[in-house]
Amino acid sequence: MLGHPKQIWSESVSDPLDIDCVVELAVQSKSDSPEVELRRIVDELSSESVSFVAHLDDDSQTVIIRGRNELQLEQSAALFDAKLGNGLLFGEPRVIYRETISKPAEVDQTQDGRWSPAIRLLMEPMESGSGRKVEIGTNFDTVPSGCAAEITNAIYELLDRGVLAGFPMTDLRVTLLGVAHQEVDSGGNAVRKVVRLAFLEAAKKAAPFLLEPVGLVEVTTPENWMGDVLGDLNERWGGIRGTRSYNDKMIIEAHVPIAQMFGYANALANMSEGKATYTLTPSHFQRLQRQTDDPPPSEPASKAMSA
């Protein structure tokens, strides 16, 4: 339907996703604090500490705290609670998954006979850890005023929402290959509708799947409990990377899905009589292949809490 135009103008915008924000916790004020107060506290704590990452969900008046692991969520929630001073209601901590695609897909799209914009869109997988990239390479003269910005913004909004379970998409490139339009009915709303249809169709053809964050876990334990620790990590779908001795203790390194690490501090303390310690650092994302008793949620944390 659309030919590939001569590329005399191009734009490439990269947007890597932060590996440090892989878990989140929703909190609400017990006394319905005003929005301006909640926003002031979030901004104040964000300026005071680089480790405090949070935002206010305008619809539900829920504060979503994000971080590297469960301990950081607890510390950030304690800081917020101390500033607020009237108590918090807590949701359940949960993992922030990602979505990506398996193969390239190209689509030509118009909405229907009433809408004149038409676009050709290409979606391609990229190397793990590449983030996401939006490219526009088309003849500038064929693009209505502001259309390029409309398309780029619309694509990033769709990338943020995902297509499977509402998680951000990563490790892919979306390229606008062609645009056709008329002056009539080619406004911003029409463009966004066509972009959305093209994006969803391309994502469907590109075989999307979920990615889960994996953490590097390092456990320091007396040798007496080494077998129990190793067995527990295996039950959590951990991949043991190695063990080594240090003074009179053993150090175990493993890659473990972060979704399997909630409650690990108490579990480790119980199995080692409080003598083992651990650290957890986000490492990478991997394809979610295992069956889980707790499948990835399909709605934002703010909505899950208010349900």
Q: Write out the DSSP string of 57-74.
A: ETTTTEEEEEESSHHHHH
In a domain, 299, yes or no: no
Give the pLDDT confidence score for residue 184 in this predicted structure. 42
Query: Residue 190: pLDDT band by 50, 70, 90 thresholds?
Result: confident
CATH code, 252: 3.30.70.240
At 296 the three-state DSSP class reads coil
Same domain, 199 and 245: no
- Of 69-83, 95-109, 118-132, 281-295, give the lowest mean pLDDT range: 281-295
In a domain, 76, yes or no: yes
In a domain, 301, yes or no: no
- Give the residue with greater pLDDT, 195 vs 116: 195
Global pTM reads 0.82
Same domain, 238 and 121: no
Same domain, 13 and 148: yes
Domain of 38, in residue numbers = 23-95
Contact by Cβ (8 Å): 112, 154: no
In a domain, 296, yes or no: no
Report pLDDT digits (tens) over 54-112. 999 878 889 999 999 999 999 999 999 999 988 899 999 999 999 999 999 999 876 55
User: How many domains is the chain built from?
Assistant: 3
Report pLDDT digits (tens) over 240-268. 999 999 999 999 999 999 999 999 999 99
182 half-sphere exposure, CB direction, 13 A CA radius: 7
In a domain, 307, yes or no: no
In a domain, 112, yes or no: yes
In a domain, 302, yes or no: no
pLDDT higher than threshold 80 for residue 196:
yes
pLDDT higher than threshold 70 for residue 297:
no
Same domain, 108 and 242: no
CATH code, 131: 3.30.230.10
